[in-house]
Structure 1
Amino acid sequence: MPTLPREQPEPSPMEPHKARRMAESFGVDARRYDQARPGYPDALVARIVADSPALDVLDVGCGTGIAGRQLQAAGCSVLGVEPDARMADFARVRGLRVEVATFETWQPLGRTFDAVIAAQSWHWVDPVAGTAKAARVLRPGGRLAIFGHVYEPPAEVAESFAAAYRRAAPDSPLNGRPAQRPLDLYQAAYAKFADRIRETEQFHAPEQWRFDWAQSYTRDQWLDLLPTTGGLTQLRPGQLAEILDAVGDTIDSLGGHFTMAYTTLAVSAVRADAAH
């Protein structure tokens, strides 16, 4: 899919962490974002808290707090760091403590954590500086966990979106991509995250996790989620309406609903006991 750059980092010559306008565009409708976006597999949360259910967690790029609230429900104490004040405000309303900053500029003020997580946000962080900072704020034995979803809608839905996007936003840099892209592109991106972790020499060998699952969407549910994605948050209302109409017609032709195949990928590593 060419639609979800926030959730789906992919190998490219671009440096997403420098694209601040897109990175900080998701708060345009924070309530819709929070309501429409899926949560994370229970098995992923269980792995993060496996060593102790009472972790102090730093949630990097916490957004509206979707992942943070899941960890709170598992018994963790969570602090979010989020560059978009609109997203941070919504997360606070939902019960998450949040400080507004990019992770690179955020000041830990001597605080350390049992876990640092990044849920569909790590590609907006400088890969070298961010990994080194995560190592600094983790306690020995603490866990870094970077994770996100890969979406695979039916081919008809993906192709309808791609064609409508090309018509509505012909000058977008997101055009020119195939309607569906293979999972191995995203696996390669997470392998690069693992490489950056190894290069710090501050962590034990990274692990790569994978969780496959599915979720059903009605026409209205999918059209509610699409405007929260990075390819659409910056479009004009007329452009957005053209795309949603086309995708909606395609979903209608499928009976008004479809099943989305999801893969949640993660790379995780434990902080070594002694600094190098």
Structure 2
Amino acid sequence: MTTAPAGTGRAPGPGTAPDTAGAPSPRSGRLREALRWGALRTVVLAVLLAVWQAVVSAEVWPRVLVPSPGDVWRQFVLASTVHDGVRGYGGHLLVEHLGVSLGRIATGSAYAVLAGVPLGLLIGTVRPLAVVLEPVVTFLRTLPPLAYLSLLVIWFGIDEAPKIWLLVIAALPPIAAATAAAVRAVPGHLVEAARALGSGPTALLLSVRLPSALPEILTGVRIAVGVAYTSVVAAETVNGVPGIGGMIRDAQRYNQTALVIAGILAVGLSGIVLDALLRLVERTAVPWRGRT
């Protein structure tokens, strides 16, 4: 004889759906998790600001070297608004400086993608070219931007060209290296299957190698954009205003430490947003990544 579970009037039959009325939905679970992590980040930020203010109040270092959070916020506001007839810093608002730098980064990264992906495909698929070109890519990847900025200024002057070229040279090697490594890592059975179906070298590259390598290529692009972002201050040391790197460099010359920190924070926060956008593009373009 079958007895019903305690608290119910009947035994669950084979067609009876489980009772999920009290179970939390996946969306609400994700929301609670996001709120929990957001609260943790807020607490950590508050602690860091309190420690920062305590160090300033204790006068461990002179105020000109370590300004208070309030000083940095005031400079951030002044650089972002029109005050006493002065527009931001150097005649441009902070958001305009940041926008110019982001435009340079986008241009340099786009050129790096257009050149780096084909270069990586050649290195990854043509052995003689790899022997010649791979050391060149490695050589460029190890050079700090300031090492060749002066040469670019001699060649192209002090306008936009040397800045864009510096960002291209900084961003291209990670893309080429990631593409070459990804193409070499394409599973051999996929290549052999495509060849058995009659695919030639071009069709094999475009229909098998490139799609299979796309997730790692996009990771290389993300890394390259980050490299370009870290190089923008060096790129804008020469005639870089407007530009966030030029603004930071100019403020450093006049010991405006609070403005320098405000500019650094603006670069970092915008970098977080940009990386989140690139992650979104990556998830949209290769939704199969990380899944079996």
Rg larger in structure: 2
| TM-score (normalizing by structure 2) | 0.22
Q: Which protein has the bigger strand share?
A: 1
| TM-score (normalizing by structure 1) | 0.23
Structure number with the bigger relative contact order (C-alpha 8 A, sep ≥ 6) is 1
Q: Which protein has the bigger helix share?
A: 2
